[in-house]
Amino acid sequence: MGRRGPGPSEDFLREASEAVQPIHGQGFFYVGYGYIAYYIVFDYNDPLGYYEAVLRNPKLYEEETLKLYYGMQELVDQEEVKVNGERVRPKVAMVDIGFRGRSSRVYIVFALRFRAPIRPGVNVYENRYEPEPIEYDYEAYWVFPPGSRILEVDMGTGSEDWEIVDDNVLAIYGKRGGRTGGYEKIVFRMPEKPIMQDEE
């Protein structure tokens, strides 16, 4: 059944969008031979129901997802990402918007991926970007294949913490009020051939 009545006013959309505040972020990175794929999830407090109005209106939804898509792509284009010294270029593959139980708790998901010259043996991932204050808590998790090993981690001069779990999972933590370091480096060793989980 179609939506009845006029859509939300421009004044409401402007006021409601300005009231949306980010409250948490998570990133999940998966490393394989020849590629890295990841998705980023942002949580927002939306007290006036901006995204509820957007999701009820197909035209507004399309406009919003395109705006988010190009905004994220512009952001990652500003980063200098290298794998084994070769410049690589992350591309946004998908944007999704939803709610966590109620309309005031919004999440936005970005799926990204890129080809990378990852090979058996030692590999180096680097990312240089503009340092900035951390406005909300976040976590990032890097998951490497079975049989791989993280050898070195450098998060620059920022305040982020990190830990390595079971040799091939990296967890990074940013706390509100801190600052990003503007540089990430992960040195890791890949096995000579893909290893199934039960072969480890």
Taking only the tens place, the pLDDT of each residue in 129-165 is: 999 999 999 999 999 999 999 999 999 999 999 999 9
Q: How far is C-alpha 98 from the chain's CA centre? A: 16
Residues ≥6 apart with Cβ < 8 Å to 63: none
Asked if the structure places residue 124 within a domain, the reply is yes
Asked if the structure places residue 10 within a domain, the reply is no
Asked if the structure places residue 149 within a domain, the reply is yes
Asked if the structure places residue 4 within a domain, the reply is no
Q: How many domains does the chain have?
A: 1
Rounded CA gap, 86 and 119, in Å?
A: 13
Instruction: Write out pLDDT tens, residues 103-133.
Output: 999 999 999 999 999 999 999 999 999 999 9
Residues in the chain: 200
> What pLDDT, on the 0 to 100 scale, is given for residue 63?
96
Asked if the structure places residue 6 within a domain, the reply is no
> What pLDDT, on the 0 to 100 scale, is given for residue 3?
42
Name the residue range of residue 68's domain. 18-199
Whole-model pTM? Answer: 0.90
